[in-house]
Structure 1
Amino acid sequence: MSPGLGGWRTGWLRRGRPGPVFTWRRDRSWARVAAWALGAVVLVFFCLFLGLFSVQLGDLADQRLAFAFLLPMFLAIVFLLFISPRGLLVGILLIRAGTNQVLFEGAQFAGMGGLGGMLNLAVIVLTLAFVAQDPKRVPRPVWMVWVPFVVMQFGGLIHSPDLMPSVRNALANLSSTMLFIAAFYFVDDLKSLHRMLKLLVWCAVPVVGVGIWTVATGQTAGALDDPTSSSAGRYAGPFNHPNIMAFYLVLMIGVVLYLWKATQATSQLLTRMFHVSFMLVMFGLLLATKTRSAWVAAFMMVAMYGVFVERRFLVYLVLAMVAAMAVPEVRERVLALGEGNEVVQYARLNSFAWRKVLWESALTWMGKAQYLAGYGYGSFMKLSTIFFPLAGGREWGAHSVLVQAFFELGVLGLLAWTWLYGRLFMMFSGLWRCSRPLAITAMGQVAMYYVVSASDNMLGYLVFNWYYWFALGAMLRFMLVWQADPVRAGQPVQPVAAAVRRRPVLLQAWRPVRPR
């Protein structure tokens, strides 16, 4: 055989000298040479980029210590992406919430994002890799829950008046959707569902720890430059707004409450004591956030447990309300809704009255031609300085996802948002025969999110949305597995009362007669 590129192997072996034992075929040899050359060029440019970036990063680290973690975090994500994608996603969940204020909020470039944007892209890439490996694991009806709103969001970017910030916000919301899908690749039965919910609880431990430390040291959220109400005395923990902390705590209270009830018969005494004490601490931190809508959501969740699971929870709820109203700051926060409801000169509006002025100004200013598709994604904040008389030259969020969806995406966007939660609520109703506590947790979280979306910027609470949608995705995956095979899912069918099993009279009359 010729010793050229067409066939090396025999020439080297005849002379008895060590050499390459692979064979390059003539029709592919130059393609391989080109591929290796291209890879070498990419590697060289990558090394140059890392070198230059490291020099710039050193200067930035002198200003903010958080920038020193940017390059190590990037390299860790790249390597773990190839070594263990599932482990990478679990690691991202473990560190994201507890280190939000110290690490991620401090490492941001003006107008570009930072570590948080890097993790958003990593979550999107990871989920797409999971889907490419096993696309049938997520059924088509699950995709159709999200597709209308995601399409409307990215379609609204076409005529957005503030494109780059809107693109970043759209990608951030897409990362929440991807976490909902990614949860399908971590749950196969009841045991794995509990494992993922326990993972979320461990993610909440540093958040609660930072919250306790801020309360103990008196580090409130500070003045948020909000003309409607002062944020003094409100605690945000590791987040940049008390509302994010509040809704995060409501989610984790629901998860811990379900784990406590679901594993009460099999768990050890220390585990049950941890569940109860951890919930009590989170309830205390929830009061410290002074977020009234989150208080209402927590009240609704515990009330549903009391009505459908254990009646004693209603007694606990009444006692907790009496104890909470005995706290002067909580009582003042509740009674503040009765003051400042009239718009007069030099009068100070309460937060809800201020929101109503904002919504009325936006909807009155909105032209009828934009009712169908809106002004474009991200247009509310950009145009708020024009239509809002109390703006004071500052851009304001809508403080209502429903108003924001209608203003930015029109009726189509509002319908897509409503379809998302309505469809999920109907899907989770299938859990009622499987596990009543799990059904209440899932359905209650969906209803809570949609209700509080009417008066808050829920789309802007990225960290909360991550854990919220991952939890709902895990629950929905378990429900689909259980509906396909209850034995495999590890949760038997709950016995149904005879009155429920009996077919109604009208259905009995129309039941088809089988031929003998």
Structure 2
Amino acid sequence: MPFAGFVLPALILRPGLETALGLVHMNLGPISVTLGFLFNIMMVAIAAALAGYALLVDRRYQAPLATVAMVWSPFLIGNLIAALHSPQPALAMQVLFNSLTYASVSYLAISYAPSIDRATLTKGVALTAVLPLLTGLAQIATGTAGPRLQASFAHPNILAFFLLIVITFLVHALVQGYVRSRPWVLAIAAVLVVGGLELLLTGTRSAYIATYIAIFLYLLWQKPVFILPMFILPFAALMIPAVSDRMQDVLNGSSPVSYDYIVSAMRGDVADSGEILLDSGTWRKYLWKAAWPWIEHRLLLGHGLSSFQFYSRDFFPLAVGEGSGAHNIYVQMMFEGGLLLLLGYLVTYVGVIAMHFRRMTTGAADSYYAILLMMVFAVASFSDNMLYYLSVNIMMWGVVFVLLASKRSESLASSLRTDRPRPFALAGGLNRRP
């Protein structure tokens, strides 16, 4: 299968081309798709071809297929059921296909992992950041960055969480010595410096905190000697006006009045209410509070995939324009797919974390990093629309599944090189010869 010749270059180039790919729209019946969506189709098609090959020709690829199917099926089934009763079926099918893309990338990653050594993975992650970072530098240099940097992405938050993955993984790679060539070490150091600066310029506070906590906890376990400089970083970051202004908004932007008062003032029921300031955190809490009665009304199956923003105009008076996203994937899943979708997602998430826990004896550093990444991602999901950040999810799931079955797993690698087909062990046993 064309991993080295097509899949890997496509994964490296896509983040830097996200805005460009989104400019070209094509109509496929009721669905308007972009060139970026064609990337999803290709990833799913390649994964489907590999799955067919595993089932019909070569049993050596069946264990990765079983592993991915086991952890991803509950979430995909929940998405499918929610899509079937969505008020926006075209958008729902696109969201469903995005989730299928994440599962496909997971399957490709774990299947090809025996051919990807640590140096190749590290270089791939670093190269993935080159185009976005260069785009960000160009925007800064030309004064087109705006108040919040977004580089090659459609929103600053996407750049921020993409850099969360890049920065934390490259720190992990340098600590573990996965790349020893001096030019590559210097190049990765440059990516870290520029990436850290651009992360701060995104203004995404949850990404600041998530990146800092992930690096701090990782170094605390692996290299405690580097902890002292970590205490200095927050104070250095606050010296950047874009960062201090965003943090100041949290302290000064809250309104002392209640949600009911704000709604009444917006409807004109309160005379001389004056200007009411509302920070983004309080706004999110009010949004979730307004959505909860609707969640309780359809607790099991929800209102349908892609329905939160659609219905927010009805249940949330503070919604803007075409409606507001949930800014919390757990609230979003409860609203759109009910307990069925939320539990399916938790099965996927906890299942992958559990497999990394089982691998701690043979790949402790890699699995510890993967678990840390997934944990900070899960916490950040309480305040952002993480499921819609396509490049971020592709990057995250690709990395954590490659780390499940890397080239260091010699039994797996040698099994793939033998002429006689040999079945894999199932999930959690990828490192044992059957």
| TM-score, structure 2 as length reference | 0.84
1:192 aligns with 2:192: no
Instruction: Check if 1:371 corresponds to 2:296.
Output: no
Q: Which residue of 2 aligns with 1:390?
A: 318
Q: Deviation per CA, 1:44-94: give whole Å up to 9, x if none.
A: xxxxxxxxxxxxxxxxxxxxxxxxxxxxxxxxxxxxx9xx46522123213
Give the corresponding residue for 2:423. Answer: none
For structure 1, the 5+ residue unaligned runs are 1-80, 221-231, 490-516
Equivalent residue for 2:167? 253
Partner of 1:57: none
2:201 maps to what in 1?
A: 288
* Offset of residue 318 of structure 1: 1.1
Q: C-alpha distance in 1, partners of 2:350/2:12?
A: 30
Q: Residue 188 of structure 1: SS of its match in structure 2?
A: helix
Q: CA deviation at 1:487?
A: 9.7
1:183 matched residue in structure 2: 109
Deviations 1:119-164 (A, max 9, x none): 1111100111112223414153432111111100011111111101
Secondary structure, counterpart of 1:477 in structure 2: coil
Q: Which amino acid letter does the alignment assign opposite residue 335 of structure 1?
A: Q
1:334 aligns with 2:274: no
2:8 and 2:234 map into 1 onto residues whose CA distance is 37
Q: Is the CA contact 2:126–2:188 (under 8 Å) kept in the aligned structure 1?
A: no
1:439 deviates by 2.4
One-letter code aligned to 2:385: N
- Partner residue of 2:78? 152
Larger deviation: 134-143 or 308-317?
Answer: 134-143
Query: Are the structure 2 counterparts of residues 114 and 268 from structure 1 closer, same or farther at C-alpha, using a change threshold of 3 Å?
Result: closer
Kept after mapping to 1: 8 A contact 2:308/2:325: yes
Q: Which moved more, 1:274-283 or 1:116-125?
A: 274-283
Decide whether aligned partners of structure 1 residues 470 and 88 sit closer, same or farther in structure 2, where only a CA change above 3 A counts: same
Say which one has the larger Rg.
1
Cα distance in 2 for residues equivalent to 1:269 and 1:141: 38
RMSD: 2.4
Tell me, in whole angstroms, the C-alpha distance in 2 between the residues paired with 1:219 and 1:441.
Answer: 35
Retained in 2: the 8 A contact 1:302–1:313?
A: no
Match of 2:35 in 1: 115
**Paired position in structure 2 for 1:61:** none
Task: Tell me the residue number matched to 1:93.
Answer: 11
Deviations 1:144-190 (A, max 9, x none): 1111111000111111111011111211221122111111232116x
Shift of residue 461, structure 1, vs aligned partner: 0.6
Residue-pair matches, total: 391
Residue 367 of structure 1, CA deviation: 4.4
CA-CA distance at 1:388 after TM superposition: 0.7
Give the structure 2 partner of residue 207 of structure 1.
132
Correspondence 1:43-54 to 2 at 5 A = none
Q: Distance in 2 between matches of 1:325 and 1:365?
A: 40
Partner of 1:352: 281
User: Residues of 1 paired with 2:143 and 2:161: CA distance?
Assistant: 21
Q: Are 2:62 and 1:136 aligned?
A: yes
- Looking at structure 1, the residues matched to 195 and 328 of structure 2 have their Cα atoms a distance apart, in angstroms, of 26
Deviation at 1:447, TM superposition (A): 0.5
Look up the match of 2:422: none
The share of aligned pairs that are identical, in percent, is 26
* Equivalent residue, structure 1, for 2:384: 456
Q: How does 1:257-336 map to 2 (within 5 A)?
A: 257-263=171-177, 267-336=180-249
What's 2:365 paired with? 437
Amino acid of the structure 2 residue aligned with 1:186: Y
Q: Given the alignment of the two structures, is residue 233 of structure 1 paired with residue 147 of structure 2, yes or no?
A: yes
Task: Name the SS for the 1:470 alignment partner.
Answer: helix
Aligned equivalents of 1:158 and 1:100: distance in 2? 29
8 Å CA contact 1:290–1:330 kept in 2: the answer is: yes
Report runs of 4+ in structure 1 exceeding 4 Å deviation: 484-489
Distance (Å, rounded) in 1 between the aligned partners of 2:408 and 2:130: 30
